[in-house]
Amino acid sequence: MSKKALITGITGQDGAYLAQFLLSKGYEVHGMARRSSSSDVNTARLKWLGIERDVRIVDGNLLDLSGLIRTVSDIKPDEVYNLAAQSFVFSSWQQPLLTGEVTALGVTNVLEALRIAKPDARFYQASSSEMYGLVQHPIQSEKTPFYPRSPYAVAKLYGHWITVNYRESFGIHASSGILFNHESPLRGIEFVTRKVTDAVAKIKLGLDRELRLGNIEAKRDWGHARDYVQAMWLMLQQDKADDYVVATGRTSTVRMMCEIAFEHVGLNVNDHLVIDEKLFRPAEVEILLGDPAKAKEKLGWEAKTTLEEMIREMVDADIARHKKA
Ligand code: NDP
Ligand code: GDP
């Protein structure tokens, strides 16, 4: 009998890569997706990976507890990966209440569904390095205190602690992965890496001339989503649930990331980059740099893809997309 996994947020970047990875391991993969009038948009990432027919999609929303309970009762998953969230930091100032409902309380809804309908299922919570915010230590590990700097990060902090609490209160095998930024050709276009690679592709093809960005001195520890979803799975294979930082251990500025993208197609970033004050955030996370030592030691996990390799892959994918369009 193959193992069953339920992924919330299956239509997102990580949902798609995780589904692909679990299918390769022989899992029966169920994915929860919000009903949309544009179902083709919903499955675009799964189609990109060629797995849309292999995943079983179930209609649902993180805000709908009874639906979640029904889904968990019907599927009886061995593993539940809670990836669904209002995941964009910038939007979280515009929609702070929705962000709190989905990204924070939504986690409790999923945990409640498990507690009621399948308490022995293993649970993964998609926590975030944004929780470190105004960093309290130059290199962030599982022991570094949190200091969230956006409604998104505050909501993720709730999600993190409620996961720890359900583990300690009810013995649920619930793990929290504190993942640093991870990207791919499937990254949402609103995030800075994909915004840059898409713009570089358009500029190279003569479809655009400039790229407008906000704070290009911000530093991030960027890895590849394909590598990071493997760490999620490894966490649920451990005898004991725990919390893990997943990162590369290298940090780069947004400017450096742009340079990699422009250089890849033989262009100079300074000829196209425009700084736009409107894109600066009310409170910024200036630097993130993770210490993945625990994940390496306990899970045997390490990031494989360099920032250069990933950005080049993303630029090439965006060029191919625009040529096809
Ligand atoms: P995406 O934004 O690509 O995907 C988010 C997913 O959540 C989408 O499938 C979206 O559905 C779904 N979703 C949003 N609201 C609801 C809701 N109310 N009910 C059900 N589903 C909902 O994010 P990623 O794949 O990049 O990230 C996955 C998770 O990891 C997120 O929780 C994110 O916050 C977290 N994370 C991501 C990091 C990163 O660098 N990528 C870093 C650290 C944490 P729809 O398609 O309908 O919008
Ligand atoms: P985040 O770390 O989850 O907020 O991921 P993002 O990719 O959205 O942002 C990473 C960093 O890039 C942040 O410090 C942003 O302030 C910075 N940044 C600079 N310009 C932009 C922009 O135009 N869009 C986005 N999304 N981020 C930008």
User: Residues 159, 125: contact at Cβ < 8 Å?
Assistant: yes
The active-site residue, picked from 128, 150, 176, 184, is 128
Q: Minimum-distance ligand to the CA of 197? A: 2
Would you report the helix, strand and coil content of the chain in percent, each value rounded to 5? 45, 15, 35
Collect all residues with Cβ–Cβ distance below 8 Å to 66 and sequence separation of at least 6: none
Q: How far apart are CA 306 and CA 301, in angstroms?
A: 15
Please report, rounded to a whole number, the percentage of residues in the chain having pLDDT higher than 90: 97
pLDDT of residue 244: 98
User: In whole numbers, what is the pLDDT of the chain averaged over residues?
Assistant: 97
Residue with CA nearest ligand 1 atom 23? 12
| 188: DSSP letter | -
pLDDT at 205 over 90: yes
Nearest to 111 by CA among 157, 166, 31: 166
**How many A from CA of 180 to the centre of ligand 2?**
13
Task: Give CATH superfamily name and number for 4-182+223-246.
Answer: NAD(P)-binding Rossmann-like Domain (3.40.50.720)
Distances (CA, A) of 263 to 34, 166, 292: 39, 48, 29
Residue limits of CATH 3.40.50.720 in the chain: 4-182+223-246
**How many A from CA of 181 to the centre of ligand 1?**
13
User: Residues 216, 254: contact at Cβ < 8 Å?
Assistant: yes
Please report, rounded to a whole number, the percentage of residues in the chain having pLDDT higher than 70: 100
Give residue ranges with CB within 6 A of ligand 2.
89-90, 130, 181, 190-192, 195, 213-216, 218, 220, 254, 279, 281, 284-285
Reading phi first (left if > 0) and then psi (alpha if -120 to 50, else beta), residue 26 is in: left
CA 131-300-257 angle, 5° bins: 50
**How many of the other CB atoms lie within 10 Å of CB of 48?**
16
User: Does the domain formed by 188-220+251-288+301-324 have CATH 3.90.25.10?
Assistant: yes
Residue limits of CATH 3.90.25.10 in the chain: 188-220+251-288+301-324
Q: Minimum-distance ligand to the CA of 192? A: 2
pLDDT in tens, 24-41: 999 999 999 998 887 777
| Claim: this prediction has a pTM higher than 0.85 | yes
**How many of the other CB atoms lie within 10 Å of CB of 24?**
9
User: Residues 172, 119: contact at Cβ < 8 Å?
Assistant: yes
Collect all residues with Cβ–Cβ distance below 8 Å to 189 and sequence separation of at least 6: 195, 198
pLDDT in tens, 61-114: 999 999 999 999 999 999 999 999 999 999 999 999 999 999 999 999 999 999
The identity of residue 239, as a single letter, is D
The active-site residue, picked from 152, 158, 166, 228, is 152
